[in-house]
Amino acid sequence: MATSIKSEILSKIYADYLEQPRRVIARKSFDQADSIDDIISEYTIEAQESTLQAFFRPAFGKEGFVVPQIGHHPDFLHLKEQPGLTEACPIVTLFLDMVGSTRLGIIYKPVEVFHIKNAILRSAIDIATSFDGHIHRIMGDAIMVFFGGKTKTVEESIINAVNAACSIQYFTTKVVIPQLKNGFGAEPFGIRIGIDYAPKDKILWGSYGYTGVNEVTATSFHVDVASKLQHAAGHNQIMIGQSLKEQIDFPSELLMVKTKLRNNETVSIPYVMPNYTGIEGNPINYKQFILDWKNYLKYTPIARYDADYRSTGMSIIPYIHVCDQKGSELGFPYEPCSTILPKEKNLRFSVEIPSSHMFPKISYHVENHGAEAERAGENYDNHDTEYNEELEKVRKGTTHIHWEHTQYRGLHYMIVKLFSSGRKTHEARLGIYIA
């Protein structure tokens, strides 16, 4: 006998997450919220134009509301009316699919399957749009999203795609799936995501079909391979391609090689399968990497709101400002992992000492990654700065300032720790992208 989803679970999926009229954070502002659960619990149904964007956009330093769109990419609409005309422009492609969704049709009624799938798709669309993604297609229980275009830099587009993918996995596993499990007792499905970057010399935009029956889309191995990467990803995993990894010089510690059990032995699957051959018949050996999205989120604003992504139960929030000159009070704010920063900038870290304690020591640990940092020295120019000041100089309720300098391309970490009587009491991890 088919198991029925309780009506209140369907109502909650609609009311709390996804259905019109759209939700807003009604009673607590973003800055006042203590946790992701706090934010979610404060959503109410109001006829306003904000859904999950109300959390993710300000959290990652983005302003305003983005109207979701689907279909032709707005930067290439002119190609729709010009058959045969093509244009080269780099893009990042994200492909998302559900795992195990076919079996739902055997177990549940069609209306129930519709609501389950739509819950995932709506939240994924909402979050992708929060990171300036353009929804290109919805294909059953899958979506295809482009990040970038003529107005975005390559690095910005890649960072947006990575942040969107990690946030989608986070929200799906943290919020949506637990709600569904409450309804029928077992996790019925998950999602998998593939992402890759197509450089300008390996992509063409154009209109397929003919006038009235056409679609403006991109032609590239790297666009097509995003689907292959998605298919290679496991349950609630993200797989990225070699082109994306190399372009952003992603830290190796956040990447894993796919493995498979074969004849009771674990074997590595480092390349996209099938391993296509080039014109000379040699395999292209295009690399694929599993992105450790849970570890990545520890260096993003998500860690401020969710204790599961912090190494200590007590959190501090260092604020980052990007300045031209060291010692300057001027500058613009930077949210961790939100976008790319240029080299030769000065970063001002401001840490407010919690009012309930006094701290004799504050430490700032810089952990660099990437080829440029590796060439700088044996230890990637990693370094620690400790302030062992008298208690009256690091007093509760005051703000401590520390300066660093942007120098190497890649994603780097700043880890701030507060100590009392030799014991670490607070910690914050911050990711900083540098071009």
| Residue 358, helix vs strand vs coil | coil
How many domains does the chain fold into? 2
Contact 418, 395 (CB under 8 A): no
> What are the structure tokens assigned to 366, written together?
């810089």
278 with 325, same domain: the answer is no
The residue out of 296, 323, 353 marking a domain boundary is 296
DSSP codes, 7-74: HHHHHHIIIIIISSSPEEE-SS-TTT--SHHHHHHTEEE-SSS-STHHHHHHHTT--S-----BSS-G
The answer to the question of residue 48 being in a domain is: no
263 with 308, same domain: the answer is no
The answer to the question of residue 43 being in a domain is: no
Predicted TM-score (pTM) of this structure: 0.88
90 with 233, same domain: the answer is yes
pLDDT for the residue 120: 83
Contact 66, 132 (CB under 8 A): yes
pLDDT for the residue 167: 95
Contact 38, 28 (CB under 8 A): yes
The residue out of 240, 265, 296 marking a domain boundary is 296
Q: Which residue has the tokens 């060439």?
A: 375
The span from the CA of 2 to the CA of 109, in Å, is 7
Contact 68, 180 (CB under 8 A): no
pLDDT for the residue 173: 86
413 with 271, same domain: the answer is no
181 with 226, same domain: the answer is yes
Measured on CA atoms in the order 353, 357, 363, 367, is the torsion positive or negative?
Answer: negative
Contact 386, 276 (CB under 8 A): no
Contact 184, 112 (CB under 8 A): no
Contact 219, 152 (CB under 8 A): no
> What are the structure tokens assigned to 431, written together?
């990711």
The span from the CA of 230 to the CA of 368, in Å, is 29
By percentage, how much of the chain surpasses pLDDT 70?
82
The CATH number that applies at residue 259 is: 3.30.70.1230
Helix (H) or strand (E) holding 117: helix 110-130
Measured CA angle at 48 (ends 45, 50), to 5 deg = 90
The residue out of 268, 296, 324 marking a domain boundary is 296
pLDDT for the residue 44: 33
DSSP state of 3: P
Contact 228, 272 (CB under 8 A): yes
The span from the CA of 393 to the CA of 355, in Å, is 14
272 with 318, same domain: the answer is no
302 with 292, same domain: the answer is no
76 with 192, same domain: the answer is yes
Residue segments in the chain with a per-residue pLDDT below the cut of 50: 1-15, 17-31, 39-50, 183-186
> What are the structure tokens assigned to 429, written together?
């991890």
For the stretch 209-231, pLDDT in tens is 988 899 999 999 999 999 999 99
80 CB-near residues (< 8 Å, 6+ apart): 72, 207, 214, 216
The answer to the question of residue 344 being in a domain is: yes
pLDDT for the residue 393: 55
The answer to the question of residue 39 being in a domain is: no
The answer to the question of residue 41 being in a domain is: no
341 with 276, same domain: the answer is no
262 with 331, same domain: the answer is no
Measured CA angle at 225 (ends 219, 231), to 5 deg = 140
The H helix count followed by the E strand count for the chain is 12, 22
The answer to the question of residue 46 being in a domain is: no
What residue type is assigned to position 150 of the chain?
K
> What are the structure tokens assigned to 328, written together?
């300057």
Provide long-range contacts, Cβ within 8 A and 24+ apart, for 108-116: 108/2, 108/3, 108/4, 108/5, 109/2, 109/4, 112/4, 112/5, 112/10, 115/5, 115/10, 115/13, 115/14, 116/5, 116/180, 116/188, 116/189
> What are the structure tokens assigned to 157, written together?
């587009």
The CATH number that applies at residue 308 is: 2.60.40.10
290 with 408, same domain: the answer is no
pLDDT for the residue 68: 87
For residue 180, what are the domain limits? 7-21+66-296
The answer to the question of residue 277 being in a domain is: yes
The span from the CA of 237 to the CA of 190, in Å, is 9
263 with 247, same domain: the answer is yes
The answer to the question of residue 155 being in a domain is: yes
DSSP state of 228: H
